[in-house]
Amino acid sequence: MSRTYKPFSGPFAPMLTEFVEQKRAVGCQYIAGYWMLRKFDSFSINFPVNNYNLTKEIVDAWGEKQPNESDVYWSNRILYLQQFAVFLTAQGYDSYISYVHRPSRSQFKAHVFTHDEVKRIFAAADAMEFSPCSPYKHLAFPLMYRMLYGCGFRISELLNLKLSDVDTNKSLIHVLHAKNDTERFVPMSESLNQRCQAYIHAVHEGHPDSYPFFFKKDGTHYTVSNIEKHFRELLWFAGISYRGQKLGPRVHDIRHTFICHRLNSWAREKVDLMTMLPILSKYVGHTGVPSTQWYLKLTAEAFPDVIEAMEALTGQAFPEVGVIDYE
């Protein structure tokens, strides 16, 4: 473990250390998880522990909701211990794996744009004009929306990119500090790579590698709220109805659309979807294949004419999606 972090000292210390090191070895910074497990490390001193066995008594005591503790914090506290319990079980130690209470969150009905709507979004972005108040916006935003659709990025991943993260020599984008402290390399298509080259040539002359890839007039990153506000205006110019704050469409729906269009294309090509899901999951930065499997249902709902083909390629039936929680 890095010397900047205090070592664990409780009865599970060696296994906690190994668990955190394993997380970091695969690209997770695991900062929040480390600090939560530090609390558990101190907590576990109060219990008898034999051979690193994580008993139900310890887990239940840790899982008791504390006064004034938010549902989200409580859920995360249980989740981090659950992950550690799974790790202990894999190492051959008896461990009680608890149920994680998931707090209710505001949920959105995902919108999958049609191919025609995607073209209209691009056309509306391309029609943006130069403004002295934001001199690079008319160059940045058309590329931004194409990168969201072409790579399936989360908007936060896109806005956090630095100049050095976009390697046009290798047609690769390095996504750092993504959701769950992960990182990944995302290949670009040739056409998208060429657009990135043109954008870099136009706006990044003399900038250091650490400069934001997309930046405002003052050199700072755009915020998610900046993009969401512009996207709502863009929808109007593209002739796409915006139904309200809780109904969307939202800019994050471009990511949903990328995944569904990819699955739809594979289904029409009769590609084995269950073989491709792990690849797609890795590409878009999901924590695991189950997160990507939700999109099978969303794709079946958005493209009902391919349901039969998808069921044949996956062996699954696809009920109506309704409102679900996506990554």
Quote the pLDDT of residue 176.
87
Which residue in this structure is represented by tokens 């996207």?
A: 231
Cα–Cα distances (Å) from 102 to 72, 145, 201, in that order, read 8, 32, 46
Q: What is the pLDDT of residues 16-47, one digit of tens each?
A: 999 998 888 866 677 888 889 999 999 999 99
Q: What is the mean pLDDT of residues 48-70?
A: 89
DSSP string, 147-184: HHHHH---HHHHHT-BGGGEETTTTEEEE-S-GGG--E
Would the pTM count as exceeding 0.85?
no
Q: What is the mean pLDDT of residues 177-203?
A: 89
Q: At what angle do helices 31-43 and 13-25 cross, to 10 degrees?
A: 170
Q: Which residues contact 45 (CB under 8 A, 6 or more apart)?
A: 10, 11
Q: What is the pLDDT of residues 209-219, one digit of tens each?
A: 999 999 999 99
Looking at per-residue pLDDT, the higher value among 206 and 97 belongs to: 206
* Confidence bin at 1 (pLDDT 50/70/90): very low
Quote the pLDDT of residue 317.
42
Quote the pLDDT of residue 102.
54
Q: What is the mean pLDDT of residues 242-268?
A: 85
- Residue 280: count other Cβ atoms within 10 Å of its Cβ: 19
* Confidence bin at 107 (pLDDT 50/70/90): low
Q: What is the mean pLDDT of residues 83-100?
A: 83
Which residue in this structure is represented by tokens 């390629």?
A: 313
